[in-house]
């Protein structure tokens, strides 16, 4: 079979997945979306002269090195190919629903998933009202990962000025109440909608978030059946083939932060000793 991997050249997980596909099938292709040409008249897309519809499938690992609205345009190219009959894992339309933080949050809340108190507004005045209500809040860009671009703002002197400064770069403000994470949060991994494993992200002393970009470390963790059931319910509406659900164990019970558009491999490997790339390729081959 000829299976391509949509990813980023030099990206650890992209390269690992492409190498794993090549070992299993004898064919390897890393598809960088900035090098793809969509030809709507020919109803296909090309990569260096290769008609991508000649492939048996695409596995979408990464659309770009950083999250941004531009990635939605790249997903539209893949959506067109998918509609023309090229199997994809996960389906581009499903990825679109979680790539945008607001879209993901709306989907989770409509499904009745518990999340930290959240406010969405374009108004500095309304944002200030939310911060005063929450006492402390995290302002999160709609397209981001590993807490990049996030800002913590507390109620009190200078809050309005900090909000206005943030608003100058982010028209739509996504504001979430700061909650007590404790020392860690969790990543619950699902493959084909079925629970696979869990890893913890343990934050560095003095940091407000647990991401590895802020010094967080991966560790093993065994969640309760209730937490697994909550995470399973959270990812179900999105229909992703491989994903990770971010869950915090708070004094008010477990809460979901987000459902990942692509899911990570490193936490699974370092904390759980599992080869996520091999498991994912096995899943794709069985589906095909």
Please, what is the end-to-end C-alpha distance for the chain in angstroms? 9
Q: Which residues lie across from 176 on neighbouring strands?
A: 118, 138
What CATH number corresponds to the domain at position 258?
3.30.470.20
pLDDT value for 264: 86
203-232 tens-digit pLDDT:
877 676 767 766 778 999 999 999 999 999
Task: Determine what percent of the chain is predicted with pLDDT higher than 90.
Answer: 87
One domain for residues 204 and 106: yes
134-162 tens-digit pLDDT:
999 999 999 987 778 899 999 999 999 99
One domain for residues 245 and 106: yes
Domain stop point among 127, 151, 177: 177
Q: Is the peptide bond before 90 cis (omega within 30 degrees of 0)?
A: yes
One domain for residues 108 and 218: yes
Question: Is residue 36 within 8 Å of residue 90, measured between CB atoms?
Answer: no
Q: Using only C-alpha atoms, what is the Rg of the chain?
A: 20
Q: How far is CA 162 from CA 139, 171, 288, in A?
A: 11, 14, 51
One domain for residues 173 and 188: no
Residue 85 lies in a domain: yes
One domain for residues 269 and 166: no
One domain for residues 264 and 232: yes
214 φ/ψ angles, rounded to the nearest 5 degrees: -105, 20
Rounded-to-10 torsion of CA 64, 46, 10, 89 = 60
Residue 205 lies in a domain: yes
Residue 153 lies in a domain: yes
Residue 287 lies in a domain: no
Q: In what order do the strands lie in the sheet with 44-47?
A: 36-39, 44-47, 50-51
One domain for residues 29 and 122: no
One domain for residues 169 and 188: no
Residue 288 lies in a domain: no
Burial profile 224-237: b = 16 or more Cβ within 10 angstroms, e = fewer: eeebbebbeebbeb
Whether the predicted pLDDT of 188 surpasses 90 = yes
β strands within the chain, DSSP E = 3-6, 30-31, 36-39, 44-47, 50-51, 57-60, 88-89, 118-121, 136-140, 151-154, 173-177, 184-191, 194-202, 217-220, 242-250, 253-259
One domain for residues 62 and 139: no
Domain stop point among 177, 199, 214: 177
Mean pLDDT, the chain, whole residue set:
94
Residue 133 lies in a domain: yes
Name which of 99, 111, 268, 142 is nearest 196 in CA terms: 268
Residue 148 lies in a domain: yes
Rounded to an integer, the average pLDDT of 170-188 is: 93
What CATH number corresponds to the domain at position 149?
3.30.1490.20
Name which of 95, 105, 100, 131 is nearest 257 in CA terms: 105
pTM of the model as a whole: 0.93
Question: Is residue 45 within 8 Å of residue 58, measured between CB atoms?
Answer: no
10-69 tens-digit pLDDT:
999 999 999 999 999 999 999 999 999 999 999 999 999 999 999 999 999 999 988 888
pLDDT value for 283: 98
Q: How far is CA 188 from CA 58, 69, 131, 193, in A?
A: 24, 26, 30, 11
One domain for residues 171 and 65: no
pLDDT value for 103: 96
Domain count for the chain? 3
One domain for residues 106 and 159: no
Q: Which domain holds residue 231?
A: 99-113+180-282
Residue 94 lies in a domain: no
What CATH number corresponds to the domain at position 70?
3.40.50.20
One domain for residues 185 and 107: yes
pLDDT value for 54: 97
Cα angle 264-265-268, degrees, rounded to a multiple of 5: 105
């Amino acid at each position: 079979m000829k299976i391509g991997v949509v990813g980023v050249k030099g990206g650890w997980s992209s390269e690992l997945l492409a190498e794993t596909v090549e070992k299993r099938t004898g064919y390897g292709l890393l598809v960088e979306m900035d090098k793809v040409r969509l030809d709507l008249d020919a109803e296909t897309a090309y990569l260096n002269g290769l008609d991508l519809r000649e492939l048996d499938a695409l596995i979408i690992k990464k659309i770009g090195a950083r999250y941004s609205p531009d990635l939605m345009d790249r997903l539209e190219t893949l959506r067109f190919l998918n509609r023309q009959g090229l199997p994809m894992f996960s389906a581009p339309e499903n990825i679109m629903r979680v790539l945008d933080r607001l879209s993901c949050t709306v989907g989770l809340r409509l499904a009745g998933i518990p999340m930290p108190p959240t406010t969405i507004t374009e108004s500095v005045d309304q944002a200030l009202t939310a911060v005063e209500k929450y006492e402390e809040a995290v302002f999160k860009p709609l397209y981001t990962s590993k807490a990049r671009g996030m800002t913590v703002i507390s109620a009190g002197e200078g809050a309005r000025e900090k909000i206005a400064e943030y608003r100058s770069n982010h028209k739509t403000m996504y504001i979430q109440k700061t909650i007590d994470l404790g020392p860690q949060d969790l990543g619950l991994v699902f493959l084909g909608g079925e629970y696979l494993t869990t890893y913890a992200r343990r934050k560095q002393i003095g940091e407000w978030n647990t991401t590895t970009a802020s010094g967080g470390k991966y560790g093993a963790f065994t969640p309760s059946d209730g937490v697994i059931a909550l995470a399973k319910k959270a990812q179900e509406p999105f229909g992703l083939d491989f994903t990770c659900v971010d869950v915090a164990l708070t004094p008010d019970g477990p809460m979901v932060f987000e459902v990942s558009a692509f899911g990570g491999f490193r936490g699974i490997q370092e904390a759980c000793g599992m080869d996520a790339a091999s498991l994912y390729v096995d899943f794709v081959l069985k589906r095909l």
